[in-house]
């Protein structure tokens, strides 16, 4: 049996290595890679909305193997882990409320095609079932997969390969099962398709945090998240909104001590949003709506993964990481992260962008203070 792993809806700018794997751009009909006709035949059923064929894709090759070489069970598991690591590395760097490209999980869909047959135009492909595997014959032109309409084909993919490699190493390290499960839940909550509700996405987001931070437990998640991020967000300004949330907590969480930071308060509200409205009806006790939690969580979860990788010694926190980490406190304090500023002169009127700007300016002051402190010590 032969196999080919590929990302059909996106193309890397140039060959890049991630651990024992190599991601290679493939141009249909114009590729210098080995077996171009066979690869073109396998990609032929993948088409754009409207019926046009894909013009390029990203192939995944195990070091020392051909593109269509057979893989054992362990190698297949690792290549799926690579796909999750690549998708997370891309989504962790995406921007919101920007003019540039937007990424979601479905654009980064990965396929491991198992096939056999002498004619590359008519392949025998295996279907996995709970009761075993079945070989299905697909003649020429009978098999088609269309790119989801909500996942426009993005520009050339610029991958943060060191981050993907660090995450791949975390998956293989002791205790890596929980971090892989957390990343899988996060990716499932960021597909943007119509096949899942916001309630299900919110549940997956909470599951992602629970798996990342340790054993599940609603009373533990906020404190664990705060402990993980506190070294980076403790120097952020305490927002006035924290007192509002503390009053809400006093009314709906009787006997529970108030949150000590906005990140902890946000996490506690995330759990209340997951519980939803009380059984007898009425309004949910959460401060933020589900959509707001999903947006803020799309920033806080990747930040928490960066902190987890650093604590495990797999990837140190870089200077470029410090602003996204510090910004967690400012983004979590937005009452409505979708709101826009009233000023018509603002270059980017979204409050989300404003919070990032404030975090950047505050970080610059922190860095200046660190430089002055080092100069005094020397």
Check: CB of residue 4 under 8 Å from CB of residue 67: yes
Residue 139 has pLDDT above 80, yes or no: no
Question: How many Cβ atoms from other residues are within 10 Å of residue 32's Cβ?
Answer: 8
Domain residue extents for the chain: 2-146, 173-339
Q: Is 301 helix (H, G, I), strand (E, B) or coil?
A: helix
State residue 29's pLDDT score. Answer: 84
Check: CB of residue 89 under 8 Å from CB of residue 159: yes
How far apart are the C-alpha atoms of 298 and 327, rounded to whole Å? Answer: 13
Q: Which two tokens stand for residue 150?
A: 């909500």
Mean pLDDT, residues 4-29 taken together? 93
Mean pLDDT, residues 116-137 taken together? 73
Indicate the pLDDT class of residue 119, thresholds 50, 70 and 90: low
How far apart are the C-alpha atoms of 14 and 129, rounded to whole Å? Answer: 36
State residue 144's pLDDT score. Answer: 84
How far apart are the C-alpha atoms of 283 and 142, rounded to whole Å? Answer: 51
- By DSSP bridging, strand 2-7 and strand 21-27 are unpaired
Residues in Cβ contact with 43 at an 8 Å cutoff, skipping those fewer than 6 apart: 6, 8, 26, 28, 53, 54, 57
Residues in Cβ contact with 152 at an 8 Å cutoff, skipping those fewer than 6 apart: 107
Mean pLDDT, residues 9-19 taken together? 94
pTM attached to this predicted model: 0.91
Mean pLDDT, residues 38-49 taken together? 88
3-class DSSP string for 226-292: HHHHHHHHCCCCCCCHHHHHHHHHHHHCCCCCCCCCHHHHHHHHHHHHHHCCCCCCCCCCCCCCHHH
Indicate the pLDDT class of residue 175, thresholds 50, 70 and 90: confident
How far apart are the C-alpha atoms of 233 and 321, rounded to whole Å? Answer: 12
Q: Which two tokens stand for residue 263?
A: 């990140």
Residue 318 has pLDDT above 90, yes or no: yes
**Mean pLDDT over each residue of the chain, to the nearest integer:** 88
How far apart are the C-alpha atoms of 370 and 365, rounded to whole Å? Answer: 9
Indicate the pLDDT class of residue 279, thresholds 50, 70 and 90: low
Mean pLDDT, residues 190-199 taken together? 90
Mean pLDDT, residues 201-220 taken together? 86
Mean pLDDT, residues 43-69 taken together? 87
- Of 151-165, 273-287, 335-349, which gets the smallest average pLDDT? 273-287
Residue 30 has pLDDT above 80, yes or no: no
Q: Which two tokens stand for residue 19?
A: 């651990």
In terms of average pLDDT, the best of 146-155, 257-266, 276-285 is 257-266
DSSP-derived letter for residue 340 is B
Indicate the pLDDT class of residue 102, thresholds 50, 70 and 90: confident
Helix and strand numbers (H, E) in the chain are 11, 9
Backbone angles phi, psi at 53, to 5 degrees: -70, 155
Instruction: Give residue-wise pLDDT tens across range 240-269.
Output: 899 999 999 999 988 889 999 999 999 999
3-state helix, strand, coil in the chain (%, to 5): 45, 15, 40
Backbone angles phi, psi at 41, to 5 degrees: -65, -40
How far apart are the C-alpha atoms of 333 and 351, rounded to whole Å? Answer: 11
Q: Is 74 exposed, middle or buried (0-12, 13-18, 19+ CB in 10 A)?
A: exposed
């Amino acid at each position: 049996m032969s196999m080919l792993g590929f990302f059909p809806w996106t193309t890397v700018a140039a060959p890049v290595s991630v651990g024992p794997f190599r991601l290679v751009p493939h141009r249909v009909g114009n590729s210098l890679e080995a077996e171009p006709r066979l690869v073109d035949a396998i990609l032929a059923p993948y088409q754009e909305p409207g019926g046009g064929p894909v013009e390029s894709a990203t192939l995944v090759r195990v070091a020392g193997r051909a593109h269509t070489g057979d893989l054992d069970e362990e190698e297949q598991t690792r290549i799926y882990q690579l796909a999750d690591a690549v998708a997370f590395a891309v989504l962790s760097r995406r921007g919101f409320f920007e003019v540039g490209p937007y990424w979601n999980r479905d654009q980064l869909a990965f396929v491991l095609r198992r096939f056999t047959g002498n004619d590359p135009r008519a392949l025998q492909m295996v279907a996995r079932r709970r009761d075993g595997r079945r070989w299905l014959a697909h003649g020429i032109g009978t098999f088609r997969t269309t790119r989801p309409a909500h996942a426009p084909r993005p520009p050339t993919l610029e991958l943060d390969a060191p981050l993907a490699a660090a995450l791949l190493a975390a998956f293989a390290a002791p205790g890596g099962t929980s971090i892989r499960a957390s990343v899988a839940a996060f990716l499932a909550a960021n597909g943007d398709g119509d096949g899942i509700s916001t309630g299900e996405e919110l549940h997956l987001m909470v599951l992602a945090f629970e798996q990342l931070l340790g054993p599940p437990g609603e009373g533990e998640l906020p404190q664990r998240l705060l402990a993980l991020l506190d070294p980076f967000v403790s120097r952020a300004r305490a927002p006035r909104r924290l007192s509002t949330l503390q009053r809400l907590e006093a009314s709906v969480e009787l006997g529970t001590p108030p949150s000590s930071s906005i990140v902890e308060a946000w996490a506690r509200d995330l759990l209340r949003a997951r519980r939803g409205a009380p059984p007898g009806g009425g309004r949910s006790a959460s401060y933020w709506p589900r959509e707001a939690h999903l947006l803020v969580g799309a920033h806080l979860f990747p930040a928490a993964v960066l902190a987890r990788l650093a604590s495990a010694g797999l990837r140190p926190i870089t200077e470029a990481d410090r602003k996204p980490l510090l910004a967690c406190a400012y983004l979590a304090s937005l009452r409505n992260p979708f709101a826009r500023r009233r000023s018509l002169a603002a270059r980017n009127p979204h409050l989300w962008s404003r919070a990032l700007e404030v975090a950047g300016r505050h970080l610059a002051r922190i860095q200046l203070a660190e430089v002055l402190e080092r100069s005094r010590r020397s």
